[in-house]
Amino acid sequence: MLDLAKARWLYERKANHAAPTAIVLKTTRACNLRCSYCYSYGGSDSRVLPLDLAMRMVDEVSALNGLPFTIYLHGGEPLLCEDFLVGFVSAMSTRDYYLRVTIGVQTNGTLITQRWAEFFRKWCIGVGVSLDGVSRETNRFRTFPTKENCLDRVVGGLDILRKNGIAVALLTVVTNQNVTHLLEILEFAKSRGITDLVFNDFIPRGYGSSLGDLMPSGTTLFEAMKEVVNWLVCHNSANPHSRIYERNLSYLVRNILDPERKPYMCLSSPCGAGSKHLALDVDGTVYACDVFIGDPEFAVGNLYRQTLREMMLSSSVVKRLNARSTSSIKKCFECEIKPHCSGGCAALAFYVNGVLDKEAPTCDYYRKMIPFLRTQIYDQLLDPSLLTRHPYGKRIGARCSGHGSEL
Ligand code: SF4
Ligand code: SF4
């Protein structure tokens, strides 16, 4: 009897330990754009995530962790499924855990209207808008099926959000086409009162799987990000009430200051894929991370057949991802800066190298940027608070004491 009780306790403890704190709901695969690098094959597949399935996922996550968590509504283009979004927030508002949930929507920005702005404000939804550059040249991969660049429509959408006082995070995929133009995005953000930016890695999968040479080299990325650091430090020192932050730099600095805490799932080792983070596709398949959506090798299970708890306890995908860490990757194991680095994104490592147990190609960048930041901070040449949001400060879309964009 005692053994049974102990086994149950261990089972529960393991299940709770695996509780996700950030989930992505793929609202639809349909998209009105055809970005040439889209990792999730956005396009004409018009399936929409069934509302009852979305709610089952969210209810199960809530029951698993009992803590604040974040829901990201992704696509395709989520603003194409108005009925789903309206139904989803209405259903969410009836849940007793509603106040511990942060909801964000990730949109291409081309369909934003006054009505959407009012919807985001009413439901306290944080909005991420994708923009790779402020010229047609640097935003060249983000086009309509007609090949028309989406830049003007995105800027129009951002203006509507601004007029309505909606907080926005600009998301940029950094490629060798825009890496030397990142300061233009910072200037644009400043001119529009946008204070949150995310410069993400290009992942060569989906439509982008044949575009591997779009990745900037570690040296090029380091030189570009050093300029970003300098720009942010100058701007943020001079404008203490309208500071601008770039999320990945912000978390990197926090990892340098406090390597034990690992607040951000992508910089943790192992990363959060399959444990702190899960993504639900329109057909009920749960993936370890939204970057893996559509890849059967990283499907954790299907919500039509299993509960989330069952999946997380039994999935070999979860075990495989949990086994990837700086201790299991030879180069990382011997690396002096591994307390501050995760070995890079697991998905990026996999789609570039074909295996998980190898460092991601961003290694060269981290090997330059981490010592640079560390020296700057420890020699007191750089005030780290100029680059990192206070962990309990303002967050996009946060309506409770949750963790906002802290995945
Ligand atoms: S810098 Fe490179 S070798 Fe070092 S831990 Fe990061 S990915 Fe691994
Ligand atoms: S696979 Fe990459 S994007 Fe996904 S949680 Fe891990 S590090 Fe982050």
CB 47 within 8 A of CB 302: no
In percent, the amount of the chain with pLDDT more than 70 equals 90
What is the per-residue pLDDT for 395?
40
Question: Is residue 226 within a helix (H) or strand (E), and if so which, with residue range?
Answer: helix 218-238
Closest atom of ligand 2 to 347 CA is: 1
Residues contacting residue 243 through CB under 8 Å, at least 6 positions apart: 195, 235, 236, 386
Question: What is the arithmetic mean of pLDDT over 74-95?
Answer: 97
What is the per-residue pLDDT for 392?
32
pLDDT digits (tens, 9 = 90+) for 312-334: 999 999 999 999 999 999 999 99
Q: How far apart are CA 72 and CA 402, in angstroms?
A: 14
What is the per-residue pLDDT for 402?
29
Which ligand has an atom closest to residue 341 CA? Answer: 1
Question: What is the arithmetic mean of pLDDT over 239-250?
Answer: 96
- What residues does 302 pair with on adjacent strands? 285
Which ligand has an atom closest to residue 337 CA? Answer: 1
Question: Measuring from each residue's beta carbon to the nearest atom of ligand 2, which residues come in under 6 Å?
Answer: 265-266, 271-273, 277, 289, 291, 345-347
Residues contacting residue 7 through CB under 8 Å, at least 6 positions apart: none
Tell whether ligand 1 has an atom less than 6 A from the beta carbon of residue 340.
Answer: no
Which ligand has an atom closest to residue 348 CA? Answer: 2
Distance in Å, CA 337 to ligand 1 centroid? 7
Q: Read out DSSP for 339-375?
A: GG--SS-HHHHHHHHSSSSS--TTHHHHHHHHHHHHH
CB 38 within 8 A of CB 74: no
Other C-beta atoms lying within 10 Å of the C-beta of residue 404: 23
pLDDT digits (tens, 9 = 90+) for 297-309: 999 999 999 999 9
Give which of 187, 192, 190 is closest to 166, Cα–Cα.
192
Strands of 101-107's sheet in order across: 245-246, 196-201, 168-174, 126-130, 101-107, 69-74, 22-26, 277-280, 285-287, 299-302
Two structure tokens written together for 308: 């989330």
- Whether 90 shows a pLDDT value over 90: the answer reads yes
Which ligand has an atom closest to residue 365 CA? Answer: 1
Does residue 76 have a cis peptide bond before it, meaning omega lies within 30 degrees of 0? yes
Other C-beta atoms lying within 10 Å of the C-beta of residue 48: 20
| Beta strand residue intervals within 146-258, DSSP E | 168-174, 196-201, 245-246
Nearest residue (CA) to ligand 2, atom 5: 273
Nearest residue (CA) to ligand 2, atom 8: 266
Tell whether ligand 1 has an atom less than 6 A from the beta carbon of residue 245.
Answer: no
Question: What is the arithmetic mean of pLDDT over 71-78?
Answer: 96
Distance in Å, CA 81 to ligand 2 centroid? 26
The band of 365, judged by pLDDT with boundaries at 50, 70 and 90, is very high
Closest atom of ligand 1 to 269 CA is: 5
Pocket test for ligand 1, best of 324, 326, 328, 364 (most atoms within 8 A of CB): 326
Pocket test for ligand 2, best of 255, 265, 269, 342 (most atoms within 8 A of CB): 265
Q: For residue 50, with 0-12 CB atoms within 10 Å meaning exposed, 13-18 middle and 19 or more buried, which class applies?
A: middle
Question: What is the arithmetic mean of pLDDT over 94-110?
Answer: 96
Backbone region of residue 59 per phi and psi (left: phi > 0; alpha: psi in -120 to 50; beta: other values) = alpha
* Coil, helix or strand at residue 293: coil
Closest atom of ligand 2 to 272 CA is: 5
What is the per-residue pLDDT for 401?
29
What is the per-residue pLDDT for 364?
97
Pocket test for ligand 2, best of 205, 291, 295 (most atoms within 8 A of CB): 291
Q: From the CA atom positions of the chain, what is the Rg in Å?
A: 20
Q: Residue 383 to residues 115, 152, 246, 253: CA-CA distances in angstroms?
A: 41, 37, 15, 10
Q: How far apart are CA 244 and CA 196, in angstroms?
A: 6
Q: What is the mean pLDDT of the chain?
A: 90
CA 300 from chain centre, in angstroms, equals 19
Give which of 326, 206, 213, 323 is closest to 275, Cα–Cα.
323
CB 93 within 8 A of CB 59: no
In percent, the amount of the chain with pLDDT more than 90 equals 80
Distance in Å, CA 219 to ligand 1 centroid? 15
- Whether 407 shows a pLDDT value over 70: the answer reads no
pLDDT digits (tens, 9 = 90+) for 2-41: 455 555 544 554 444 568 999 999 999 999 999 988 887 7
Lowest mean pLDDT among 25-29, 182-186, 211-215, 391-395: 391-395
